[in-house]
Structure 1
Amino acid sequence: MNFLVLLLVAVILRFTPWRGGFPIDVLGYWSDWVGRVTRGRSSWLFLIMLLLPLPLLAVVLWLATGVAYGVLTLIIHTLLVLLCVGRSDPLGTMTSAVGEAWQRGDQEAASVLAERDFGVVGDDAAVLLQGLRGRMAAEACHGYFVPAFWYVLLGPIVAVGYRLAWLASQRSDAGGNAFAGALAHALEWLPVRLMGLSFALVGHFDATLAVLRRVVLQWEPQTVQLAQWFTAAALTESSAVPVAQPLDVMRTFLLRAVLVWAVVIAFISLMG
């Protein structure tokens, strides 16, 4: 059922207005609320309250088992995965404003938009492009690859738990956000390296594999930094692409990486 759920989610993301997942950012609202009510209190209280929905969701899934021949379970799984999808849409509109400025040849506007929207600063077009590509890869990792990995491996509860931890580490100013960040980093450790392997398969294989070998056992590098390194290595030979639409190359590249993951997940589902 895992592959069917991910296929349904992919169809919803592609052919409906829900490009950024579920229309209401339920997990984001919960993370923000927990951060407010636990501000100044124990970090453990923050983490416990943040993850409180997980056992409740587990009970709901248990009660739904076998109802309507599994259709209810399928619907709940699909909704939960949609809640875990990132809202930035790196495969679509995430960098559309910067891309339009680039297409007009307005390098200054592209630089301003990149710094304002993504915190990417570059002295020239090449550095700016590399930073934007790395940011797109990082958003794809947080919003697609990591939730999909944990959903296939351990089910929707762990995927939701990762999304809550990541949101808390990004949005909350409570003391527990360091705990949430450490949890998110731990859950990203393996998936981001598998993402790097998929980048090697669809990009420059030798260069990306060399980077992957160097960092495969390291704990310290953050996902954003790894995404930058993997992307720069995988797209080493893309400098010959016309500069008019440089970010389209990255979108196509990410789509190919997603297809690699889809093929592997389909194979695992068939074998299982």
Structure 2
Amino acid sequence: MSFLVLLLVLWVEKFSSWRRHIQHDGPWLRLLARVEHSGTGAWAALVVLVLLPVALLGLLLVVLQPLAHGWLALPVHLLVLIYSLGRTDVLAALGPFRDAWRRGDSQAGYHVAERDLQLAEVDEERTLLQRVQAYLLWQGYQSFFAVIFWYALLGPLAALAYRLLALSGEQAQQPALREQALQLRHALDWLPVRVLAASFALVGNFMAVTRVVLHELLNWDIPAAQLVDKAGHAADDLAEPAPGEAGVASLDTLWQLLLRAAVLWYAAFALWALFF
């Protein structure tokens, strides 16, 4: 059933607008505000914000699993997985930047990168394109690959826990709560980001990725965003950042790299479902 859910997620992403209707964080954000206002400690807050919703989901699945040979749980799996995907439409967010960069209008590029991509404090044209490339790779990883990795490995509870931790790290106002959520998310990112880096090696330049990433594979301290950026740039043999159409083309090649890695993952999931 898990592989069927993964296929249905692709269908929903491509042919429907369900994702916008499912990903409503309002109730959870109101819970976050109440928890922070109450002065609850970081660990206790995470129990309420992450562990409690995950436990309620687990209870619901326990109730549904014996019914209709488990098929009643399928829509719950699908809804949870869609909710757990990232909140950013990467291609739509990059659209204004791509237009500005294609025109060679670096000033407009700085403006839309700060407005749409939340990339601030960029003072060089070369650095700006590198930051946008890193943004594309990170959003592709955290919005999709990390979520489906944990879903395929441990089911919807793990996928939901990943997204709620991500939201806690992004939305929390209390420094202690935000820091604790980011640390736990770093732990959850450790394995899937390395699997994605290995996937980049298989669908891109194997030797370049190996040379750049191999010595970092067991490094606990390297941020996931930094590792996926290094692996993606090595896999695609990107040239020096360039203005105009060449710079836009580099974003296209990175997107194609992410698509090839996704195809590889789905092929691996299909073989796993077939033989195990």
User: TM-score of the superposition, structure 1-length normalised?
Assistant: 0.90
* SS state at 1:221 partner: coil
Equivalent-residue separation in structure 2 for 1:74 and 1:115 (angstroms):
40
- Sort the Cα spacing of 1:30 and 1:176 in 2 relative to 1 into closer, same or farther, 3 A: farther
Following superposition, the deviation at residue 260 of structure 1 comes to 1.3
Q: Does 1:96 align with 2:100?
A: no
- Sort the Cα spacing of 1:154 and 1:80 in 2 relative to 1 into closer, same or farther, 3 A: same
Structure 1 residue corresponding to 2:29, chosen from 10, 32, 48: 32
Q: Which residue of 1 aligns with 2:258?
A: 254
What does 1:210-229 align with in structure 2 at a 5 Å threshold? 210-229=211-230
Matched-pair contact (CA < 8 Å) for 2:65–2:71: no
Equivalent-residue separation in structure 1 for 2:249 and 2:99 (angstroms):
8
Equivalent-residue separation in structure 1 for 2:26 and 2:190 (angstroms):
26
Following superposition, the deviation at residue 115 of structure 1 comes to 2.8
Equivalent-residue separation in structure 2 for 1:238 and 1:262 (angstroms):
29
Deviations along 1:70-94, whole A, 9 cap, x unmatched?
332111111110011112123x313
Equivalent-residue separation in structure 2 for 1:243 and 1:187 (angstroms):
32
Q: Which residue of 1 aligns with 2:147?
A: 147
Q: Which residue of 2 aligns with 1:14?
A: 14
Instruction: Read off the aligned partner of 1:227 and give its amino acid letter.
Output: V
Following superposition, the deviation at residue 211 of structure 1 comes to 2.4
Equivalent-residue separation in structure 2 for 1:125 and 1:250 (angstroms):
19
Aligned-pair identity in percent equals 34
Matched-pair contact (CA < 8 Å) for 1:85–1:147: yes
Instruction: Read off the aligned partner of 2:178 and give its amino acid letter.
Output: N
Runs of 4+ more than 6 Å apart? none
CA RMSD of aligned residues (A): 2.1
Matched-pair contact (CA < 8 Å) for 1:147–1:162: yes
Equivalent-residue separation in structure 2 for 1:149 and 1:136 (angstroms):
19
Between the two structures, name the one with larger relative contact order (CA 8 Å, sep ≥ 6): 1
Q: Which residue of 2 aligns with 1:82?
A: 82
Equivalent-residue separation in structure 1 for 2:92 and 2:203 (angstroms):
22
Matched-pair contact (CA < 8 Å) for 1:130–1:232: no
Matched-pair contact (CA < 8 Å) for 1:207–1:233: yes
What does 1:175-186 align with in structure 2 at a 5 Å threshold? 175-186=176-187
Equivalent-residue separation in structure 2 for 1:238 and 1:67 (angstroms):
55
* SS state at 1:23 partner: helix
Q: Which residue of 2 aligns with 1:128?
A: 128
Q: Give the number of the structure whose residues are more often helix, by fraction.
A: 2
Equivalent-residue separation in structure 1 for 2:77 and 2:22 (angstroms):
17
Following superposition, the deviation at residue 52 of structure 1 comes to 0.7
Deviates more, 1:32-41 or 1:145-154: 32-41
Deviations along 1:222-264, whole A, 9 cap, x unmatched?
1222222122222224569834544222222211111111111
Following superposition, the deviation at residue 121 of structure 1 comes to 5.2
User: TM-score of the superposition, structure 2-length normalised?
Assistant: 0.89
Equivalent-residue separation in structure 2 for 1:238 and 1:17 (angstroms):
36
Instruction: Read off the aligned partner of 1:248 and give its amino acid letter.
Output: D
- Sort the Cα spacing of 1:46 and 1:133 in 2 relative to 1 into closer, same or farther, 3 A: same
